[in-house]
Chain A
Amino acid sequence: MKRTAKRGVILVTIGLLGWVLFPRSAPLASAPAPAFKRALPPDLGAPVPPPLAESERLDNPEPLSDRDLEAAAQLQLGQLDRIRKIPGAAPLLDEVIAALKEDDQETNSLDHIETDEHGLAEISDEAIEQMISDPALRAKWDQLMTMVAEHPEVMGEEERSGDGE
């Protein structure tokens, strides 16, 4: 009786091990990889909304107030002061700002970059050259942006919780 029970346990164990180690391998060998949540295909079945009427486009958004624009600009100016604190950045920033103020053209600097028929430009060395045509000024921009991108002091602390909602 004991021996039969032991045999039963061994057989069940072997069966379970086979189930664990070779799960549905034969019939699904050529099937796609098991569905994993992060690899789900795009949701092609999303409902398509009806076309928007022209009148629906604006939906009366609140206009930008001068007060908000002034606040944002003033605070961005304060941020420039933080860039100025990076060792070596202050003179470069001053020269870049002076050039921008001197060349107070109506057009956006980004309008000088060539685009394709969709209005897209590839961000490349060529695009940067088109955006800032003066080589000497471009070199200063480049140096300044390298400092901003790499200098750890500009990155601030990493303690404040901002886990979102």
Chain B
Amino acid sequence: MKLHLVIAMLCLLVSASAIGSEQAPQSAQLTSQDRVLLVTSNLTTHGMPKYRWLYRFLDSSSVFLAKKTLSGAYRKLYLLGGKNATVANFTDNIPRLAGDPKTRALDVMTHLHGSPGALWFEDNAYTTHYLKTALLRSPLKGRARLMYSTACYGKSHAQDFVDAGFQTASGSVGVNADSAFSYPATMLKWRRGSAYWSVVRTSNSRVSIWLSDRAAKLMGFDDVNSFKVIKGDTLARIWLAARAI
């Protein structure tokens, strides 16, 4: 008798907790109308003049590919590009977009040149410590979700963005040379709803890293390392609300 009662109670407890756990995430699930994407792109200004055509290709590709892969997954896709990719516009627009009452998650994709601890905007280079301090003036936590960056040395920037209030941020260990591959790969898998650790795992493809490393060695460069690392929450997903961490 006692045993039956205990078993019955356990079953009820499990059912109740299952119902609870099913309901709770529902409240955190987002539709495209809850999400906004900001693409920040300017590789041309600080690139080598002889490769201007290449950087113009990459700048334009960042816009084209965002539209191709993520259109419909966000309420709006915004661009901060070219001469408008200044640090003031960057640090003003992130809180402004994140603070929109209709927005429950702001994702940012950054295509800028990077050096250790700094990003190169249209106007100049700024340390990510400076960006963190500027962004901390506004409450980003629980609103700013993903900071994806194709910048060189993005790993050295990622923690500052997480400290500024982003839920998750990622970047390459050294000179990043695989964005032609990893950018569309990241966007496609992110759109499919994968957890961010899985998205980054895809962009860290064996083929891509091997090709980059081999090419770098052949050219005698030792700072090239396109391998991406994540700072912050590795479990972020496109359909989950931004979370304060």
Interface residues of A (CB under 8 A from B): 6, 9-10, 13, 16-17, 20-21, 33-34, 36-44, 46-49, 52, 56-59, 61-80, 82-83, 96-97, 100-101, 104, 107-111, 113, 115, 118-124, 127-128, 131-132, 141-142, 145-146, 148-149, 154-165
Q: Please, how many residues of chain B have a CB less than 8 angstroms from a CB on the other chain?
A: 119
Say if the beta carbon of B32 comes within 8 Å of chain A: no
Q: Name B57's contact: one of A40, A97, A159 (CB within 8 Å).
A: A97
Q: Which residue of A lies closest to B52 (CB)?
A: A104
A47's closest neighbor in chain B, by CB? Answer: B136
Most buried by A among B79, B197, B211, B215: B79
Contact yes or no, A162 B201, CB < 8 A:
yes
Rounded to whole Å, the gap between the CB of A71 and the closest CB of chain B is 4
Q: Which residues of A contact B58 (CB under 8 A)?
A: 76
B60 and A109 within 8 A (CB): yes
The answer to whether B143 touches A122 (Cβ under 8 A) is no
Residues of chain B within 8 A of A107, CB atoms compared: 82
Q: Could you tell me which B residues sit within 8 Å of A by CB distance?
A: 1-2, 5, 9, 12-13, 16, 20, 24-25, 27-28, 38-39, 41-42, 44-48, 51-54, 56-61, 63-69, 71, 76-84, 86-87, 89, 92-93, 96, 113, 115-118, 120, 124-127, 129-130, 133-134, 136-137, 139-143, 152, 165, 170, 175-181, 184-185, 187-188, 197, 200-209, 211-212, 215-216, 219, 221, 223-224, 226-231, 234, 240-241, 243-244
User: 17 A–B contact pairs at CB < 8 A?
Assistant: A56-B130, A59-B127, A61-B126, A71-B219, A79-B177, A79-B179, A79-B180, A80-B54, A97-B57, A123-B67, A127-B79, A149-B65, A155-B188, A160-B204, A160-B209, A162-B201, A162-B202
